[in-house]
Every structure is written in C-alpha cells, then in structure tokens.
Amino acid sequence: MELRNRRRLQLLLIVAIFAGSVILAAGMMLSGWAPSAHSYGQPIEPERPLARMPVKTADGTAFAFTNRTGAWTLLALPGPDCAQRCLRQLDLVHRAQIALGKQADKVRLVYLGPVPAGPAAAGFGKVWVVAGTAAAPLRGLRATAPDSVSMVLVTPSGRALLAYPAGFDPARLHQDLQRAVKVNL
C-alpha cells in the first residue's frame, strides 16, 4: 500500500472514531438515557425556584436563598410537633454539616416552621436559622407525621434540588453535602 493511501486511511479511521462517539452520544441522549445519579436525595422534578419565595426569619428579616458566596441551603421542613425524634434528626444534620470541616460554611441550615419547645431545644436558634413562609413552593415536601422532619437541599442560585423525606439517613445526606460543596451551580 502506498504511503499516501495509508495516511488517508489513517485519517479516515481517526475521523470515524470521533464521529462514531459523537453519533453514539447523540443517540443515547435522544433515546432518553441519562447517567445514573449517585445522590441519596430524591430529585425534585421539575426543580422549584425558591429565589423569590418570601421567607422571614424569627427576628423579622428577609431570608434570601440566592447568595454570591456559593453557600447551599439545607431546609428543614418539620411535621407537626417537632419534639425528641425530630430534634435528634436535626442534631444529626448539624453534625453532618460540621463534618464538612473547612467547607461547613458552604451549607446554611434553615428551619422552616415554629420553634421547637422544651429543654431539648435549648440553643436551637444558635445553630439553625428559624424562619417561616406562607408561600406554597414547598408543598408536598414537608413531613406530615408528628415528631418528624424532612429536608430539602437548595442550590446557591435558589433552586430546590433534592428532597429527603422523613426518616432519611443523615450519613447519606452528609455524602450528598460533600459532593454539593465541591461544585458550583
């Protein structure tokens, strides 16, 4: 085989490899295939924009989900009567935040509901931003059982991304937080 023909064949082979991979990727995308997500939380589809949702903290100031620091917001949505089990779960979530080490400040903890009562709730407001809202974008995500809590992970741009229903595993939530603080959405 001549040198000129061999080089043409090599060039065609290289083009075929690149074109083949592009065609394969396009075919997979058009068929609806998507890589599996490795997050523990349940994806909220469609994502709910919370940036304009009116939220007031316990001291009456407005709370903004969007921020320029790249901090994610972890929303606690308690069921009726947040008592011992609910407070224990919230404590484990706080520990998951602390376990992020230097990146712990990249996760803000917001409790969206009435302040828990009793001695077990002492110092609660020092860890959690206590807030409330009458808006409905979180409908269907709040815990419904007494003494339970569900969580919602919100991106720095204010989109509700993942839901963690009541009874979630705080260790797996911690794994999702580790991944989240490494990316900027």
Give backbone dihedrals phi and psi of 56, rounded to 5 degrees, phi first.
-115, 135
pLDDT given at position 70: 86
Q: Which two tokens stand for residue 157?
A: 């741009």
Tell me the average pLDDT across 156-183: 90
Tell me the average pLDDT across 49-61: 88
Tell me the average pLDDT across 107-123: 85
With cut-offs at 50, 70 and 90, classify the pLDDT of residue 105. very high
Nearest to 75 by CA among 173, 147, 184, 9: 173
Tell me the average pLDDT across 40-69: 87
Residue partners of 93: CB distance under 8 A and separation at least 6:
74, 76, 109, 151, 170, 173
The CA distance from 60 to 79, in Å, is 22
pLDDT at 35 over 70: no
Under CATH, what is the fold of the domain 42-182?
A: Glutaredoxin (3.40.30)
* pLDDT tens-digit series, residues 58-98: 888 999 988 888 899 999 999 988 888 999 999 999 999 99
* pLDDT tens-digit series, residues 122-162: 888 889 999 988 777 788 888 999 999 999 999 999 999 99
pTM of the predicted model as reported, rounded to 2 decimal places: 0.76
The CA distance from 131 to 125, in Å, is 10
pLDDT at 184 over 90: no
What's the Cα-to-Cα distance from 87 to each of 65, 175, 176, rounded to whole Å?
23, 21, 21
151 has which bridge partners?
A: 76, 164
